[in-house]
């Protein structure tokens, strides 16, 4: 049997993973990728594999249909986000599929708070200036009693909320799951109500067909002047072109983005030129502990599907 792995964080442990699968006589292929494979590339090869550990690749109906005409029996989505996987197509074509939920709450929350402090004190900008030979004395903003709009109250959102409260900040939570429940331990607002009160916005929710570009021109116009925006979820939650406009006219003070609408981020993006912004590489979950933990679960699930565990 052969297994395809297209999840970049797993590549650092390639030798260990290969040995793990070889115990069951399974060959593992790691294609040369930066972030994801294209749908056309997957369609060319997917039928040659019995199993697939999916990263953020377009795991579409067309891909699974081609796989079902060949050897593909099972797939596991590595990580929390599943917006790129067509689960209904797997059911239609008889392909077993699963994912690894609730893996990275602490890790992603840690990075979100690092971003928040960096934007508040402009520490990343100061670092770049000092390296260039300057000695800036930027005035940041204090965190105490500032308001954070937290979009998404799942595993990651709850971990962010714990850290926000410890910093003495106020929270406005947006999550439709909690809006209608009188017994919920939190009270969520309807997006984007009260957005004008927020000094920071932190996106931690999953992406679906209902919240694509939930942060668009209308929502940005409602924001407080100088709002700081953090996204550790999915790039398409925010209309990137409108966000760039808001940065240029100073409606948005700065952004910290680990995810983008196009990944890797195009080299000519204005976001790269904006001096006060922080840019990541879709890497919020990537710690030694989190990757090893998720690798173990993803591999175990795939081996079970393939009848080897």
Q: Token match 């697939």: residue? A: 52
How crowded is residue 137: how many other Cβ atoms within 10 Å of its Cβ?
5
Asked if 37 and 83 count as a contact pair (C-beta separation under 8 A), the reply is no
Q: Verify whether residue 282 is a known catalytic residue.
A: yes
Nearest to 242 by CA among 264, 214, 278: 214
Residues in the chain: 309
Spatial strand order in the sheet of 27-29: 27-29, 2-5, 51-54, 74-77, 96-99
Report the alpha-carbon distance of residue 5 to residue 225 in Å, rounded: 44
CA distance 198 to 224: 7
Is 131 noted as a catalytic residue in this protein? no
Catalytic residue (choose from 99, 228, 234, 253): 234
Q: Which of the residues 263, 292, 300, 308 is marked catalytic?
A: 263
The residues assigned a catalytic role are 234, 263, 282
């Amino acid at each position: 049997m052969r297994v395809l792995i297209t999840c970049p964080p797993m590549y650092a442990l390639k030798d260990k993973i290969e040995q793990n699968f070889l115990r069951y006589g399974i060959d593992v292929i790691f294609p040369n990728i930066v972030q994801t494979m294209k749908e056309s590339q997957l369609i060319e090869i997917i039928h040659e594999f019995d199993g697939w550990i999916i990263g953020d690749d377009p795991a579409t109906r067309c891909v699974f249909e081609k796989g079902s005409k060949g050897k593909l029996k099972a797939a596991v989505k590595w990580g929390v986000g599943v917006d790129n996987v067509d689960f209904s197509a797997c059911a239609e074509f008889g392909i077993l599929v699963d994912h690894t939920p609730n893996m990275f709450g602490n890790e992603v929350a840690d990075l979100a708070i690092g971003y928040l402090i960096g934007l508040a004190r402009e520490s990343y900008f100061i670092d770049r200036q000092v390296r260039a030979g300057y000695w800036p004395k930027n005035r940041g903003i204090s965190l105490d009693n500032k308001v954070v709009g937290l979009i998404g109250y799942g595993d990651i959102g709850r971990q962010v909320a714990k850290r926000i409260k410890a910093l003495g900040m106020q929270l406005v939570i947006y999550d439709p799951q909690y809006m209608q429940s009188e017994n919920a331990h939190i009270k969520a607002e309807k997006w984007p109500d009260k957005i004008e009160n927020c000094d920071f916005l932190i996106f931690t929710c999953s992406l679906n067909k209902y919240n694509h570009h939930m942060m668009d021109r209308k929502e940005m116009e409602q924001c407080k002047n100088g709002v700081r925006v953090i996204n550790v979820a999915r790039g398409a939650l925010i209309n990137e072109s409108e966000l760039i406009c808001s940065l240029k006219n100073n409606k948005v003070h700065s952004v910290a983005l680990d995810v983008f609408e196009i990944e890797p981020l195009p080299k000519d993006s204005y976001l790269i030129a904006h001096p006060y912004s922080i840019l990541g590489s879709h890497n919020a979950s990537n710690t030694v502990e989190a990757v090893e933990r998720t690798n173990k679960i993803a591999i175990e699930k795939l081996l079970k599907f393939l009848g080897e565990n």
